[in-house]
A and B are shown apart, each in its own frame.
Chain A
Amino acid sequence: MRFALSQEQRQFGAAVHELLADADVPGAARAWADGDHAPGLHVWQALAKAGVTGLAVPEPYGGLGAGPVDVVVACEELGHHPVPGPIAESVAAVPVLLGALPAARGPEHGSVSEWLAGLADGELISTIAIPPSLPYALDADVAGLVLLADGGRAWLASARARLTSIDAARRLFEVEPTDAVAADAGPAVAAALRLGTLASAALLLGAGRGLLETAAEHARTREQFGRPIGAFQAVKHALADVLIGLEFARPLLYAAAIAVGHDAATAARDVTAARIACADAARRAARTALQVHGAIGYSDECDVSLWLAKVTALSSAWGSQAEHRATVLAALAEPDTGPWS
């Protein structure tokens, strides 16, 4: 048992954090929401250089072939800041899908290998719809590769109508299939959905952290009745509950990443459990951060709005909380995924 990140993993997370802290990510997210992708794409290029976009791409295609734990480390920071774009899709789900396709047996196999190489070096951003859990393709207008996976099949897809997400930085599109990519891709699609869901949980946890840090900073400095509002017990206790939620969601996230990495029987159960806890914790963080900020938190100019919208949207994407709870409950009834396994 060594249930702790390695020093390399901690340093990697810290490096991604530092990179993003200096990149005016809130500004990039606001521009992205207005249809100006340039600042956000600049952030994506920096992330590609740091190895983030190639984490889940197998090594033969220029990726790092890293495990799910590394993907979680990166995605938590991407949610922490909050980076716009199809992260769970392009960094997690699509590389896993393409890497697991029969056509991806080696670099000599045409477009799949080119796509993987493009994802690894940051030349390509991809998105995917996997109905029914993920019916819309996020940011299909900026993605160079738009996929649709349904059951056991995967297609190239083209964007149709744009839908308005509650998170203006999430530009959703309905998609239609164009060319078939793979017909016998059931396990690959399942793996993509699993890692994408795990990445969404990490994004939610990171967003929760960002919200808590912002709220705590506000509570330390904002004065009312002649004292910082953080000196009032009602505010202290609300913030403490946010930290408790986040701190007990994180180990579920890492345990799920380990299970996915080992392709354990419990992987699906553990991913959904992590996702439930991360979304619940992030929602509590969002609501509390707004409450602690008061009216300014409800204004568009305050960064709380960026995370709050992200948390609201991500809690509905990649499967609803109710769907995930049903999955956990069903798994607990099975012998090899029961409560003690």
Chain B
Amino acid sequence: MELDYSPADEAFRAEVRAWLAEHVPDPPLRSVNTAAGFAAHREWERELAAARLAVISWPECYGGRDASLTRWLVFEEEYYRAGGPVRVGQNGLFLLAPTLFAHGTTEQLDRVLPPMATADQVWAQAWSEPGAGSDLAAIRSAAARVDGGWLLSGQKTWSSRAAFADRAFGLFRSDARAEKHRGLTYLMFDLRAPGVTVRPIAQLDGEPGFAEIFLDEVFVPDADVIGEAGQGWRVAMSTASHERGLSLRSPGRFLAAADRLLRLWQHSAVAGRDALGERVADAWIAARAYQLHTFGIVEALEAGGTLGAEGSLGKVFWSELDVSICETALDLLGPAGEVSEPDNPWPRGGWPRSYLFSLAGPIYAGTNEIQRSVIAERLLGMPR
């Protein structure tokens, strides 16, 4: 049993650290959930791609470096340690791309991945509907068969940054008579195609980070079906664990947050500061536990295993940890805990918004209630 990165991984770390030190924007970019901020983040992705750092775990032919999962963890540690910008392409990079690698055709990979890596095409997810949240398989948006493709009609909602993105992916009901989980098809579509209307929705912090998507007989060619028609649920679920754990929320993110919290505590003069020490210690312990647990998952995956219901353990863990870190930070800020950027400059003024966003963690990527039921039923054998 070993716990050391290889010299080659450490050399890669040094390269990444040096590059980030020179390139990470300071002051930070504007919020990715605004039009201007979205554009700035797209530019940042282009810089990352030019340094071949945008998608290191992908094959070289798509702009990657064929990096192992372990090396990807190194990248993530350095990225969050350096305070790198939010990855504006994250829905495509961490949700769609793994699905394409598992189920896409060569033609799809060749067409979709290169512009995704350079953020020339930014992808939005189109999962939820007004009547289908946790019960995702209840979706009603339809894909009607026509010559050479499909006509999409219906409504998607809570789609992150769809008002600014280029394309979207999601599940559509292609066979109304089939059983609920069958008869679904996984499709990609152009957010600017005729028949698509996107309406931004302001989030808790007032910014238009959500959108709803109205589809009125939007034509999608057969080439944009992922996997087989009618197999959409299976295709989507086969990579859902990646969203819940490994790829969307890497350990480096929480180690960096715990580190920032520690420094906040060390420099805090707020009344009651000493009493918060235990929560600061617990935050680091949990972030370290998440990192180590991920090492174990990577070990299992590289030995040929798959990530199943175990992904739900991590999803509950990191989302609760995130809330806890942000709550402790607000307590350490005292009265300044309510004063947000720009009136309270980064990094201190970043905490109030981070707190709001942390509260979304137990909801998105499958609510923690859904995850706990998955854990109990699939890992502990509880009756359904």
Contact = CB atoms under 8 A, between A and B. Distances in A.
Interface stretch (B48-56, B180-188, B288-296): B288-296
A339 B255 CA distance: 8
B382 A219 contact: yes
Given A216-B382, A255-B3, A328-B281, A237 B373 contact: yes
A69 interface: yes
A340 B255 contact: yes
Contacts of B77: 340
B383 interface: yes
A286 B39 CA distance: 52
A1 B381 contact: no
Interface string A49-92: 00000000000000000000100000000000000000000000
A90 B306 CA distance: 40
Contacts of A239: 376, 380, 382
A329 interface: yes
Interface stretch (A39-47, A103-111, A113-121, A223-231): A223-231
Interface stretch (A19-27, A170-178, A188-196, A241-249): A241-249
Given A230-B376, A325-B282, A6 B293 contact: no
Contacts of A248: 286, 289-290, 293, 313, 317
A267 to B, nearest CB: 12
B310 to A, nearest CB: 8
B135 to A, nearest CB: 14
Interface in A1-41: 1-6, 9
Contact of A252 (B1, B292, B371, B377): B292
A166 interface: no
Contacts of A69: 1
A254 B1 contact: yes
Contacts of B373: 233, 236-237, 240
* Max chain B Cβ within 10 angstroms of own Cβ: one of A3, A243, A259: A3
Contacts of B295: 1, 3, 251
A325 B281 contact: yes
A244 B2 contact: no
Interface residues of A, number: 47
B266 interface: yes
Contacts of A258: 1-3
B384 A231 contact: yes
* Max chain A Cβ within 10 angstroms of own Cβ: one of B2, B9, B292: B292
B70 to A, nearest CB: 6
A326 interface: yes
B81 interface: yes
B284 A328 contact: yes
Nearest to A231: B383
A2 to B, nearest CB: 5
The majority secondary structure among interface residues of chain A is helix
Nearest to B379: A243
A227 B382 CA distance: 11
Contact of B1 (A9, A237, A243): A9
Contact of B376 (A5, A240, A252, A254): A240
A160 interface: no
Contact of A1 (B5, B369, B380): B5
Contact of B285 (A220, A247, A273): A273
B382 A277 contact: no
Contacts of A333: 266
A124 to B, nearest CB: 29
B122 to A, nearest CB: 31
| 4 pairs of A and B residues whose beta carbons are closest in the complex | A251-B292, A236-B376, A240-B375, A240-B372
Interface of A: 1-6, 9, 69, 212, 216, 219-220, 227-228, 230-231, 233, 235-237, 239-241, 243-244, 247-249, 251-252, 254-255, 257-259, 273, 276-277, 322, 325-326, 328-329, 332-333, 339-340
14 contacts: A1-B2, A3-B296, A5-B1, A236-B380, A236-B382, A237-B369, A237-B373, A237-B376, A254-B292, A273-B288, A325-B281, A326-B277, A329-B277, A329-B281
